[in-house]
Structure 1
Amino acid sequence: MRYMLTYDLMETMRNTNQWLGATAAAFGSYPVTGLAPHPFFKLMSAWGEVTERSFARMVAKPDWGISTVVGEDGRDHVVTVTPELEKPFGDLIRFNVTGRPEKPRRILLVAPMSGHYATLMRSTVTSLLPDAEVWVTDWHNARDIPVSEGKFDIEDYTLYLADFMRHLGPDTHVIAVCQPAPLALAATAYLAAEEPKAQPATLTLIGGPIDPDAAATDVTDFGRRVTMGQLEELAIQRVGFKYAGVGRMVYPGLLQLASFVSMNADRHAQAFSEQILRAAKGEAGDHDKHNKFYDEYFAVMDMTSEFYLSTVHRIFKRRDIARNDFEVDGVKVDIGAITDVAVKIVEGENDDISAPGQCLAALDLLTGLPDEKKASHLEPGAGHYGIFAGKSWRNNIRPLVLNFIDANSRKTGAPKRQPKLKAVGSDEGPTPV
């Protein structure tokens, strides 16, 4: 019960700070303060405005914000987002582009379940939409899922991916970013043994921890240093009374956010100080660079405790995927069973979350796959975010991935070159602070 009280205490603190910000913003901009034109009141109002928005965005799911795509005919085509498969812990959503012929490329973008919503992949989706039909895994916030829906761990996650791949068919091209890379590999291997015809045509793994021990980072060091008992005691709480998932054991989003911010506390403090000064001078905008980044960065979601703990225990500590000793629902998954799915690895030279070598380890596990169906790319100077949504992705990696997809497509009539189109009406996505 104390875990539930702790969860509600964190929500109370968040709500109180949001209220304090709103109060300061209202008081600092109250007409009577104009009688004493002192910069203190402008700073108070600016502080309140930034504070209220910061704490309000922590419990709001961001919108995709992708309104149109420019087609080959030069016209804007409206984009609608619709769930195609709905499950308790996550949906398979499709970005429908109205009024244009269906593209031969069919891409399933597997978004991470690592604290942020799938909208973190907004700029990735934006860059792919002009040239492909795009589906995305849209994971749900665990605090909104009733306890009656049961558990959700990495085995359930893997089975979800297998279901999504089975639904989309063998002419699908899967791109898994960061956390889901080892589980996307496992889901493909699971289908290779259970239902070979349902395997995707290609699998692109971007910056994921296939073998965390291949290259040490702060993330892998933490996984080694902390025991499972300590982790469960420090990180896991019960959802409070405010949400539908009341009583569910979770790793709370607010706790995750605290750890995210602590890693670069000085940079975040400077960013907010500068934003308050800009707001006081009337130079801040609703969709300026600061707000675009923090609207996404501060929007966090709870993870089920079993998913978080099983990820640390089985992926980082026991290295089940790296040792090819992973089981799903009692079935041993053999990565070597993949024989007909082209696999491409993408890593960033300066990735400090999944360092170079961690994802590349997948190619050694693919003992049944011919060398001509294996590919890898190390992006010079790129960090973790850049390899899937930043400048490195847009300028270098995206064209390589699309060429890889076309070279290994099972569908006839795949495009041989990429049309120069762009998506509009969307953010570029968060830019690192």
Structure 2
Amino acid sequence: MAQQPLKGLISYDAMETIRNTNEWLGASARAMASYPAFSMIPHPMFRLMSAWGRVTERSFARMVIKPDWNIPAIAGEDGQDHVVYVEQELKRDFGDLIHFRVARREPMPRKILLVAPMSGHYATLLRSTVTSLLPDADVYVTDWHNARNIPVSKGKFDIEDYTQYLVEFMRHLGPDVNVIAVCQPAPLALAATALLAEIDPKAQPRTLTLIGGPINPDAAATDVTDFGNRMTMGELEYHVIQQVGFKYKGAGRLVYPGLAQLTSFIAMNADTHAKAFIDKIFAEARGEGSEADRHNKFYDEYLAVMDMTAEFYLSTVERIFKGLEIAENRFTVDGKEVDIGKITDVAVMTVEGGKDDISAPGQCVAALDLCTGVPEERKQQHLEDGAGHYGIFAGRSWRLNIRPLVLDFIDEQANGESEAPKKPRRKRGGTNNVFPGMADEDGKMAV
């Protein structure tokens, strides 16, 4: 065991060295094959080499870059565009609460807290989700920090700390907030709501929408659950936990590296990713590639990964996937039992994708059975046939079907409390003519 820290430190720096070397090789190939003298030699090798270099350099550089939000302006009813500003609402060591302030717009009746996953990608993974909700709501997002940039002196961060962060954020936003948790944080958002139900009932959110989350991982097997069951905690800690190298502020912190997680993501659909990069290289060689094409828009986000603290990753596997503490209502925070059955005043909705290979159908809807204190008329569930994991919160299925359902669900609960006339339900399906800048495919992105 004494050699484990040194092993982890060497492994982390070795991975970063490999990444940096590949970025350099790509830049070198791009520069060399683009040398003007080679244009006199009519051989396709130079164009292919230059294209390979451009794609390789960009891809490996993205792995250590936090993407910008780049939220477009919102068109107002007065015919003017309203610029969107990203502002820190609350700043904490391991994650901030950020607000998307729409300039010169009156406060919206809907207030939404998007709980972003912390499973390898940044919160900007929800960029298109935020963009789709902003015309109809004031939107807040949990913006988790990259563990490699957090000094060891800041202490630990596990799933109990994560849950307490959510409790604080919900309390800050008030009881009229509508919480939408996407994938990984779904069970912890449920636990945070249950904790509020006991310690501060008036601070509970109005609604809780859980999208593709592993509430009960044993309800339907996937590659993710199989991996968790196959590996012991000792094996997992030995093989995937490493120490942040000397290059970053968090030097010495034990983490599950983003580069290791990215390798797992790509391995799940290796053939699809390989074809995408081969097609991109040939498109670049033919002069058909562009800065903002579909490939770059997707992979600029997909390849940008962050480290998770070792304690967060290991406690998630041990307590959520192996121990089933949420699924069996045995979760505790600081030694205090969290009883999901004590949620009584929060409307709960679950959303699942029929082709979700990360959190398969059955895992998320299990939350409704756990919420024994919530009246049946305040529970809803939706299964989107044919939708993959990414599609149920950011793809075509989200835009055309799920987003209208979620907004209707929020409005119905608000109308129920105020006894105001209900608004007509939104139209679903059809062509995408609202957000033409977003990709149409329901791609596969593990969160």
TM-score (norm 1): 0.96
Is 2:382 aligned against 1:338?
A: no
Shift in Å at residue 369 of structure 1? 1.2
Shift in Å at residue 74 of structure 1? 2.5
Deviation string 1:384-403 (CA, Å, 9 cap, x unpaired) is: 11111111111111111101
Q: Which residue of 291, 314, 335 maps to 1:286? A: 291
Q: Which residue of 366, 369, 378 maps to 2:371? A: 366
Shift in Å at residue 266 of structure 1? 1.6
Deviation string 1:87-138 (CA, Å, 9 cap, x unpaired) is: 0110000000011111100000001001001111111111100000000000
- Matched residue type, 1:142: A
- Matched residue type, 1:326: F
2:357 maps to 352
CA distance in 1, matches of 2:385, 2:442: 19
Please list every run of at least 4 consecutive aligned residues from structure 1 whose deviation after the TM superposition is greater than 6 angstroms. Answer: 411-415, 418-426
Shift in Å at residue 67 of structure 1? 2.7
Residues 171 and 411 in structure 1, CA contact (< 8 A), matched pair in contact too: no
Q: Which residue of 376, 397, 416 maps to 2:423? A: 416
Q: Which residue of 50, 63, 68 maps to 1:63? A: 68
Residues 89 and 145 in structure 1, CA contact (< 8 A), matched pair in contact too: yes
Shift in Å at residue 418 of structure 1? 7.5
Q: Which residue of 277, 297, 306 maps to 2:282? A: 277
Shift in Å at residue 431 of structure 1? 5.8
Is 2:41 aligned against 1:36?
A: yes
Is 2:260 aligned against 1:255?
A: yes
Q: Report percent identity of matched pairs.
A: 68
SS in 1 for 2:83: strand
Q: Which residue of 404, 412, 422 maps to 2:409? A: 404
SS in 2 for 1:388: helix
- Matched residue type, 1:377: H
Shift in Å at residue 432 of structure 1? 2.1
Higher relative contact order (CA 8 A, sep 6+): 1
2:217 maps to 212
- Matched residue type, 2:82: H
- Matched residue type, 2:423: K
Residues 256 and 307 in structure 2, CA contact (< 8 A), matched pair in contact too: yes
- Matched residue type, 1:432: G
2:192 maps to 187
2:3 maps to none
Identify if the C-alpha distance between structure 1 residues 425 and 171 changes in structure 2 by more than 3 Å, giving closer, same or farther: same
Residues 70 and 424 in structure 1, CA contact (< 8 A), matched pair in contact too: no
Is 2:78 aligned against 1:73?
A: yes
CA distance in 2, matches of 1:21, 1:212: 40
- Matched residue type, 2:173: L
- Matched residue type, 1:12: T
Between stretches 279-288 and 266-275, larger displacement belongs to 266-275
User: Which structure 2 residues correspond to residues 18-417 of structure 1 after superposition, within 5 A?
Assistant: 18-409=23-414, 410=417, 416-417=423-424
- Matched residue type, 1:186: A
TM-score (norm 2): 0.94
CA distance in 1, matches of 2:292, 2:422: 36
CA distance in 2, matches of 1:211, 1:171: 28
SS in 2 for 1:392: helix
Shift in Å at residue 61 of structure 1? 0.7
Q: Which runs of 5+ in 2 are unaligned?
A: 1-5
Between stretches 380-389 and 235-244, larger displacement belongs to 380-389
CA distance in 2, matches of 1:337, 1:28: 65
User: How large is the RMSD of aligned CA atoms in angstroms?
Assistant: 1.9
Residues 83 and 94 in structure 1, CA contact (< 8 A), matched pair in contact too: yes
SS in 1 for 2:68: coil
Aligned residues: 433
Shift in Å at residue 41 of structure 1? 1.0
Residues 218 and 225 in structure 2, CA contact (< 8 A), matched pair in contact too: yes
CA distance in 2, matches of 1:218, 1:372: 34
Shift in Å at residue 419 of structure 1? 8.7
